[in-house]
Amino acid sequence: MDFKRKHLLELKGSTREEISLILDTAESFKEVLTRPIPKVPTLRGKTVVNLFFESSTRTRISFELAEKRLSADSVNFTASGSSLSKGETLRDTARNIEAMKIDMVVIRHCAAGAPHFLTQCVEASIINAGDGQHEHPTQGLLDLMTLRDKFKTLEGLNVAIIGDIAHSRVARSNIYGLQAMGAKVALCGPPTLIPLEAQDWGTEIFLKLDEALEWANVLNVLRLQLERQQRGLFPSIREYHRLYGITRQRLEQCKKEVTILHPGPINRGVEIESELADSEYSLILNQVTNGVAVRMAVLYLLSGGKGSEELEAE
């Protein structure tokens, strides 16, 4: 199948075929990463700007590596130390960067919809690297890839997303991606951290962790976003850990093989016991490796991907 999208803004509305194409392409790029010279000339001559208005380690490095492995030229922009602190608007920043002739923009922004907005003011392909509490599609894709590597298919898998659903863009991308691929999704967390819109997602909702553990083959444990929690949505971190923290003892009580994912960064000892994050249950480092491969696939497919209207015109 041909990839027809120009931008990657969200996984909502993606088809199984599209996601499979991205994951298959990512598997091929993953092999490149194991070569003596882990670099291919595929995107030579393409220029990518990484616009990070919010702090990030993993995602930014992962995108940068993906760009370099594909021989694209990349330029980094971080909010501090830019004209943003002088009061320039997002639109002006973007249009100015575009005037320097670029092909793709990777953007992370604290406002949901910022990547969509960019598609209206610049010609380049836009990749969403996380926007507010909306979506983080490449994280969703790398989670799918990691699970597909382990289970061969996502069909029929029971994935419980645990923790701070309300503030999590990772949760939203996971839900849409997993459901498109035929997996079943459940949410589990304190009622104050499960958003009202969750009832429209067609997921199970568990308020007790043990019920979720009973049901799931896979736990995707979210980070408790302490920086977004000024309103006291739960009494204390200690209580959160006691009720929703994943510990070895708890897993062994439910006597089941589970696989653990975590998008990082981990608050060790809060949402997950420190030792468990490094245990045989955890695929956390596989996620990071796959992250580079998935981003290479997205960059490759989007740089050749033409808008569907353009295709028809040809």
Partner 1 sequence: MAEKVRQQIMDAEGLNRTIARLAHEIVERNRGTENLAILGIRTRGVSIAERIISKIHAIENTRLPLGILDVTMYRDDVFKKIQQPLVQTTEIDFDIDDKVVILVDDVLFTGRTIRAALDAIIDFGRPTKIELAVLIDRGHRELPIHADYVGEHVATSLQDDIEVRLKQVDGMDGVFLVKSLKVN
For the CB of residue 28, give the shortest distance to partner 1 in the complex, in Å: 4
Among 15, 17, 28, 248, binds partner 1 (CB under 8 A): 28
Per rule CB under 8 A, is residue 2 in the interface with partner 1? yes
Instruction: Decide whether 27 or 149 has the Cβ nearer to partner 1.
Output: 27
Place of tokens 């991907």: 305
Q: Taking CB under 8 A as the rule, does residue 307 contact partner 1?
A: no
Residue 146, CA distances (Å) to 139, 215, 224, 303 in order: 11, 20, 22, 24
Measure the CA angle with vertex 7, ends 183 and 223; round to 5°. Answer: 50
Binder of partner 1 out of 6, 7, 9, 40 (CB under 8 A): 40
What beta strand segments (E) does the chain contain? 47-52, 73-78, 104-109, 125-131, 158-162, 184-188, 204-206, 218-221, 259-261
Residue 24 touching partner 1 (CB under 8 A)? yes
Residue span binding partner 1 (CB under 8 A) among the ranges 36-44, 58-66, 252-260, 284-292:
36-44
Figure out which of the listed residues 12, 20, 33, 42 binds partner 1, where binding follows CB under 8 A. 42
By CB under 8 A, residue 65 contacts partner 1: no
CB-nearer residue toward partner 1: 29 or 63: 29
**Residues binding partner 1: what is the number (CB under 8 A)?**
25
CB 189 within 8 A of CB 163: yes
Listed residue (283, 282, 301) closest to 23, CA to CA? 301
How many CB atoms are located within 10 Å of the residue 1 CB?
8
Contact pick of 13, 37, 120, 152 for partner 1 (by CB under 8 A): 37
Dist. CA 305–CA 314, nearest whole Å: 14
Part in contact with partner 1 (CB under 8 A); list of ranges 156-164, 179-187, 205-213, 301-309: 301-309
Which residues, including other chains, have CB under 8 Å from residue 43's CB and lie 6 or more apart? 67, 70, 71, 72, 299, 300, 303
Site for partner 1 contains 289 (CB under 8 A): no
CA-based R_g, the chain, Å:
20
Residues that bind partner 1 (CB under 8 A): 2-3, 21, 24-25, 27-29, 31-32, 35-37, 39-42, 297, 300-301, 303-305, 311, 314
